Structure 1
C-alpha cells in the first residue's frame, strides 16, 4: 500500500513540476525519483546502497533469475540518440534535406494544410521500421526547417510525427506486441492479425487529424487557398532562400548523392537489424564528417557546434533510466500494477475487456513496458479467463492503451522531440491527448466489430 502511494506521488509530482517548469527535464527525471528512492529504501528496510543498484539496472540491464530474460535499460537508446542526433545534425548542415524542403515549399505554395498532410504521410512510412527514436529523428530533420520557415506551430509538428508512431509500434517487430505476446502466451502472428484492422483505421484517422490541424493553421496564419495563386514568385523565392542561405558555408551540394546513398544504406541496415543503431550512426557520423569537411580542424569545429544538440537529449535519456530504475527496482511499479488490477471488478464478467482496456491506459503510459505486460496484463489474462475471455482476446485488450503510450515519461526519444520543437513535455502531452484521444475508441469499436475483443 505504501509503495503504491509512493509510486502515484512520484509520478504526480514529476508531472506537476514539469508543468510548472520548476525543474529541467534532466533535474525532474533524476532528483524526484532520487528522493522517493531514498524513502523506498526505508519502507523496504534495505540498505541505501540498494538504490544505486536500482539505478544501475535502469541504466544498463537486468536479468531475470528464473527465465534468464534480459530487460535492457536506457543505455541502448541513449547511444542511438547521441549518435543519430549527431549524424542528422551533420546531414542538416550539409544540405541533405534541402531539396525535400524546397519541394514541399514549391508544392505547398505557403499552404499549411499541404505541409501537415505531407508530414503525417512521411511519418506513416518511416515508422514502419518500428523504431520510435529513428522515426522522430528523420521526420524532425526533414520538416522542422520548413515548419519554422512557414511559422507553423511546432507543437502540431510533434503531435503529427508521434501519432503514427503510437499506431505502428504495434507491428510484429515492435516492442509492445512482442512483450504482450510473450507475457500472455499468444502467437505474435495471431495477435498482429487481430490488431491490424484497428491499426489501419487509426492510420486513416491520423491523416484526417493532420488535415484538421492543417485547416487550423490555415486559419491562424490567415492563409486562403483561393489566393494561393497570388503568392508571388518573390515570396516563394524568399522561403527557398531561407533554406539555401542557412549557413551556406557548411553546405556540400556536390556531396548530395554520396550523403543520400549513405543515409539510405544506414536506414536499410537499421531496418534489417544488421547492427545496433548506435553503431551505425556513430560510424556514419565519422564518415560523414570526414568526407564532407576533410580538414580535421573543420571536423572538430562541427563536433563542438553539434555537441549541445546531441548532449541534451542523450542526458534526458540517461536520466530516464534513474526514473524507471527506481520505479521498478524499489517495487513501486509492481505495487502500482497490483493496485490497478484490483480496481477492475470481477463482477463485470464479459464486459471486463473494454473496461480493462480503458482503465489500463494510464498504466501503459506511466509504467515501463515490461512492468505493465508482465505485471498487469499477464495477471488480468487469468482473471478474464474465468469469464470466458480467451488469452488472445485479453492480449488485444491489453494493446488498446497503446493509443496513449507515446506520451509516456519513460520514453526517452520524446524528450529529444521536445528539445527539437522547443516545447514543454507536459504541453506536448496535452497536445497529443487533445488530438489523438479518438484512437483509443477507434481500437475498441473496430476490435468489437471484428470480434477479436468482446464488448
Structure 2
C-alpha cells in the first residue's frame, strides 16, 4: 500500500510540473505532504520536512553564494579582457571563430546559468557569423555543446542530483572530471570540423585574416554608464586568482564548497566594492536568481524528507527490486547515461531528478549498485547536454531567438551532436571506472 501511495505521489508530481498546473516549488511541497497524510504519517510529516530541509541547507547556501560570487566578478569586468583576447585571436578564420565561440561559452558558463551564457556568447559572436555568411546553426550549436558539457558542482543538474540522494557535490563531481574533459575535447573537435566545413563552403579552404584589431570594429560591446561604473579593470588578476582559488578548493580539498564560496564572495565584495552601499547593490542585483534556485532546493528538501522519512521511497524500491533481475542492475547506470540526453526532451530537471532518478537509484542500490552511479550517469546528459535543445527550458528559446534560428532547425542540427557528446562522456565514465558497462 505504501509503495502504491509513493508511485501515485510521484506520478502526481510529474503531472503537475510537466503540465504546468503547479510551479515546481508548490508541487514539491504540497503533493508529498498530501501523500504522507494519506499514508497516515499525520503529525510526523512536519518532522520529515524539517529533516529534509536541514540536510539540503548547506547545498542551498553554496548555490546562493556561488551565483552571487560569479555575478560580482562579472560586474567587475573579469570577463571583458578575456572576451577581447578571444575576438582578436579568431580574426575571420572560420575554424578559429567556431572554436573561439565554444571557449567563450565555456568561460561564460562558469556561473552555471545557461541564459547568461547565451546572452554573453551569441550577441558577441553573431556579427562575425553575419559578416562572413557563416551558418548560424553552428554558432548556437557550438554554444550549446560547450555549455552542455560544462557541468559544474553548483549547476542546477548537479545540485539536484546531489540533493535528491543526499550526497555531496564533491563526491558526485570529482570522479566525472575525466569524462568532462573528454566532452570538452569533443567540443574542440566539433569546432574544428564545423570550421573546416565552413571554410570549404565559403571558398576559404586556406583561411585568411584581416588587419589586426579590425574585427573589434563590429564586435566590441558598448558598455552602459552604469556598467562602466562597476568595472574594475585594474583588479582583473585579483579576480582571476579568486576564481582559480575557489575552483581549486572545491576540486582538490575537502573544504566545504559553501565555506569556500562564502569567503570568496566576501573577498570579491570587499576588494572590488569597498563601499557598503555598492556591496548591498551587487548582492541585490543577483539575489533573484540565487534565491529562486535556493527556494526550489528547500522545496526539494521537503519532498525528499517526506519520501524518505515516510518510507514511501524504500517501499517503492523494494517493490521495483522484484522486477529487476539482479544481473541487470549493474548495467543500469550505463544505460541511464546513454539515454540521459534524450530524457531532457521528456522530463524537466525537477521532475527527473526528484521524481524518476531517486527511485531508480535506490532500486539498484538494493541490488548492490551504488546509488551515486545513477546520479553520475544522469549528469552525462539529463539537462546538461540536453538543456540547450529541450523545449522544457526557457534558455533554449532564448538561444535560438538571439541568433534568429528556427527552433526545429536548431534541434535537427544540434540534437545528434549533443547526444553523441553524452555518449562519449558515458563511455569515458566506463573507461575511467566511474561505473561499469
Structure-2 residue corresponding to 1:92: 74
**RMSD (Å), alpha carbons:** 5.4
Provide closer, same or farther for how the CA distance between residues 224 and 343 of structure 1 changes in structure 2, counting only shifts above 3 A.
farther
What is residue 280 of structure 1 aligned with on the other side?
260
On the 8 A contact 2:103/2:146 being kept in 1, the answer is no
1:107 to 86, 89, 92: 89
Cα distance between partner residues in 2 of 1:107 and 1:329:
56
Report the counterpart of residue 366 of structure 1 in structure 2.
Answer: 353
Structure 2 equivalent of residue 131 of structure 1: none
Deviates more, 1:223-232 or 1:276-285: 223-232
User: What is the alpha-carbon distance in structure 2 between the residues aligned to residue 453 and residue 267 of structure 1?
Assistant: 25
Find the counterpart in structure 2 of residue 45 from structure 1.
Answer: 40
Partner of 2:7: 4
TM-score by length of 2: 0.64
Q: What is the deviation of 1:79?
A: 1.2
Deviations 1:304-328 (A, max 9, x none): 3333343333333333333433444
Alpha-carbon distance in structure 1 between the residues aligned to 2:248 and 2:177: 24
1:311-355, Cα deviation, whole Å (9 max, x unpaired) = 333333333333433444444433443454444356xx6x77546
Alignment of 1:407-422 (within 5 A): none
Cα distance, 1:142–1:276 mapped onto 2, change above 3 Å: farther
Instruction: Map 1:156-167 to 2 at 5 A.
Output: 157=143, 159-165=145-151
Matched position secondary structure for 1:81: helix
1:402 Cα offset (Å): 4.7
- Name which of 119, 124, 137 aligns with 1:149: 124
Partners in 1 of 2:177 and 2:276 — Cα distance? 50
CA contact (8 A) 1:87 1:284 kept: yes
User: Does the 8 Å contact 1:101/1:146 carry over to 2?
Assistant: no
Distance 1:257 1:418 in 2: 34
Aligned length: 381
Residues 237/52 of structure 1: CA separation in 2 closer, same or farther (3 Å cut): farther
Name structure 2 gaps, 5 residues minimum.
127-135, 156-160, 344-348, 388-392, 401-406
Name the CA distance, whole Å, in 2 between partners of 1:291 and 1:450.
41
Distance 1:332 1:15 in 2: 22
Map Cα deviations across residues 162-205 of structure 1 (whole Å, 9 max, x no partner): 324389x9xxxxx98xx999xxxxxx9xxx7xx99977765654
Matched residue, 2:53:
59
Q: CA deviation at 1:279?
A: 2.8
1:380 has 2:375 as partner: no
Q: Report the CA distance shift for 1:113/1:271 in structure 2 as closer, same or farther (over 3 A).
A: same
Aligned to 1:35: 30
TM-fit CA distance, 1:95: 1.0
- 1:8–1:121: structure 2 CA closer, same or farther, 3 Å change rule? same
Q: Aligned pair in 2 of structure 1 residues 136, 250: CA closer, same or farther (>3 Å)?
A: closer
Aligned counterparts of 1:40 and 1:79: Cα–Cα separation in 2: 28
Provide the residue aligned with 1:403 in structure 2. 380
CA contact (8 A) 2:62 2:257 kept: yes
Query: What secondary structure does 2:220 align onto?
Result: helix
* Counterpart selection for 1:437 from 419, 423, 432: 419
User: Do 1:344 and 1:356's aligned partners in 2 also have CA atoms closer than 8 Å?
Assistant: no
Which residue of 2 is the match for residue 118 of structure 1?
103
Q: How far apart in 1 are the matches of 2:316 and 2:152? A: 23
Match of 1:77 among 19, 41, 59: 59
Contact 1:403 1:436 in 2 (8 A): no
Aligned CA distance change for structure 1 residues 276 and 37 (closer, same or farther; 3 Å): same
Residue aligning to 2:301:
321
Q: CA contact under 8 A between 2:330 and 2:436: conserved in structure 1?
A: yes
Task: Report the 3-state secondary structure (helix = DSSP H, G, I; strand = E; otherwise coil) of the residue aligned with 2:78.
Answer: coil
Equivalents in 1 of 2:58, 2:209: separation in Å? 49
1:13 aligns with 16
Larger mean Cα displacement after TM superposition, 324-333 or 399-408: 399-408
Q: Aligned runs of 1:237-276 on 2, under 5 Å?
A: 237-242=217-222, 247-273=227-253, 275-276=255-256
**What is the distance in 2 between the residues matched to 1:102 and 1:269?**
28
Q: State whether residues 270 and 280 of structure 1, in contact with CA within 8 Å, keep that contact through their aligned partners in structure 2.
A: yes
Does the residue aligned with 2:33 lie in a helix, a strand or coil?
A: helix
Note the residue ranges of structure 1 that are not aligned, 5 or more in a row. 62-72, 124-133, 170-174, 182-187, 382-390, 412-416
CA distance in structure 1 between the aligned counterparts of 2:312 and 2:394, rounded to whole angstroms:
27
Instruction: From the superposition, tell whether residues 39 and 420 of structure 1 become closer, same or farther in structure 2 (CA, over 3 Å).
Output: same
Query: Is the Cα–Cα contact under 8 Å of residues 332 and 374 in structure 2 kept in the other structure?
Result: no
